[in-house]
Chain A
Amino acid sequence: AQTVTQSQPEMSVQEAETVTLSCTYDTSENNYYLFWYKQPPSRQMILVIRQEAYKQQNATENRFSVNFQKAAKSFSLKISDSQLGDTAMYFCAFMKLFPNNAGNMLTFGGGTRLMVKP
Chain B
Amino acid sequence: DIQMTQSPSFVSASVGDRVTITCRASQDISSWLAWYQQKPGKAPKLLIYTAFTLQSGVPSRFSGSQSGTEFTLTISSLQPEDFATYYCQQAKNFPALTFGQGTRVDIK
- Are A and B physically bound partners? no
Question: Which residues of chain B have a CB within 8 Å of any CB of chain A?
Answer: none
Residues of A within 8 A of B (CB): none
